[in-house]
Structure 1
């Protein structure tokens, strides 16, 4: 897939109907040979549309007008390139807990959660958030995570979590203003509800911080997993992480995690992890596949806003 194709696909499958601003910018970049050439000077994993747009927003760039955006990128490329190389798409969307919850609530309780690619750890608190699945509500307080769930009865109770830890190459700290600003920049421009949700979830995390460890998902996972209490069900989980990991490393991780005690909950793009045939997705939008111990269970949208169960 070319860089132009990547931006056009991001426009058509991820942002269409969700972020008109990023849809316009993506198509504009896809059609601009000069910008594509600049983007091509950074490593492939730094060419992601969401990363470029977040970097631009974090540097005060204009994103509402494609022409102004393209001119600004050209004029500020040195600063943009530097930040592209040092930052990563660490979107820490607490809303994803809404699609993880049906699986987590059904596992033997209590749970010891270990998230790979944890960012700031917001998805380690599924037991502390409130949920709304259509008319069905669960939990109290904020944030309230809304999810359009099809094909299943939502869980009747929250999971009980007694230990939570995260592993990340660059853990973020919600009490650090610079880290919180980067998490904010990763949220799409029109998504004020996600911006409010970030701050509500960050308050939950700051009140009871998890164990966040800087490390590699293969080399450092066994030692962190060994710290989980023996009387809890270990759950290694991750969402929208493995697309950033080279295929041989993904395979090594999958082999490792299946050998650990407990369970493995993944929420990743179909082409990244799923093995074998899947039912057709609900529509042409981009979906992740929710799986338990390698068994696909549901289609999910990237921010946790929808779940279609087929398992």
Structure 2
């Protein structure tokens, strides 16, 4: 896929109806030869819209107006490119726990959670948050995670977690203001509710920090998994992570995780982690597939805002 096509797809598939600012920016970039030529000097994995827009926001640039964005990005391109080369889209959206919850709660309790691509580890606390699925409320914690659920087997209570660990090439620390600033920069401009959720979830993590290990999802996963308590159900999970992993390494990870004890819970785009025979997605917006041990269960939205169960 060309860079222009990727930005058009981001506009129509991910941001339409959710972020007018990023929809405008994505479409403008997709038609701007000067910006596209600059973006194409970066490695393919570093060209995605979320990374560019997040870096510009982090550097204090404008993202509401495409003309102002263009001027800032062209003028500050060396600084923008330098940040894009060393950073990754580490969106740590606690709201994704809402689409993981039905699968996690149905497994033998208690759980030992191990997240691959954990960022700051905010998705390692599904037991500490509260959930609102329409009129149905589950749990008593904070933040409250809203999710439109269709056909999902909703549990009576959150899962019980006795061990939580994360693996990431560059784990982030919620006690570090610079790391929290990067997480904030990755949140779309209009999503003030997600900024409030980030702060609330960061408070949960700071009060009881998870075990976060700097490492590779293939080389270092077995050793970390071996540290999980034997009397808990190990769940290795990831959400919107594998698109950043080159296909050969992705395949090696899938082969490895299938052989680990416990369960594997994936929430990834279907063109990143394929599942034959999927039903039609519910609409034109980009959806991920929630799958347990390789068996697809549901369509999900990227920030955990919707879940359509078919498994």
User: TM-score scaled to structure 1, two decimals?
Assistant: 0.99
Equivalent residues of 1:109, 1:232 under 8 A apart: yes
Match of 2:218 in 1: 218
Report the secondary structure of 2:173's partner residue: coil
1:71, CA displacement in angstroms?
Answer: 1.0
**What do the CA deviations read for 1:154-186 (whole angstroms, capped 9, x no partner)?**
111110000000000000000000000000000
| CA offset digits 1:87-109 (Å, max 9, x no partner) | 10000000000000000000000
- 5 Å-filtered alignment, 1:125-164, equals 125-164=125-164
Q: Does the Cα contact within 8 Å between 2:55 and 2:83 map onto a contact in 1?
A: yes
Q: Cα deviation per residue 1:192-216 (whole Å; 9 max; x = unaligned)?
A: 0000000000000000000000000
1:17 maps to: 17
Q: Which runs of 5+ in 1 are unaligned?
A: none
Corresponding residue for 1:237?
Answer: 237
Gaps of 5+ in 2: none
Which residue is 2:53 aligned to? 53
- Any idea what SS the aligned residue of 1:108 has? coil
Native 8 Å contact 1:274 1:296 kept in 2: no
Q: Does the 8 A contact of 2:152 with 2:307 survive in 1?
A: no
Aligned to 2:104: 104
Match of 2:299 in 1: 299
Partner of 1:42: 42
User: Match of 2:165?
Assistant: 165
Which contiguous aligned blocks of 4+ residues in structure 1 show a shift greater than 6 angstroms? none
Following the alignment from structure 1 to structure 2, what is the Cα–Cα distance between the partners of residues 159 and 17? 32
**What does residue 263 of structure 2 align with?**
263
Shift of the alpha carbon at 1:86?
0.9
Q: Is the 8 A contact 2:300 2:306 kept in 1?
A: yes
- In structure 2, distance between residues paired with 1:92 and 1:280: 28
Deviation (angstroms), 1:125 = 0.3
Residue 236 of structure 2 contacts residue 265 of structure 2 at CA under 8 Å; is this kept in 1?
yes
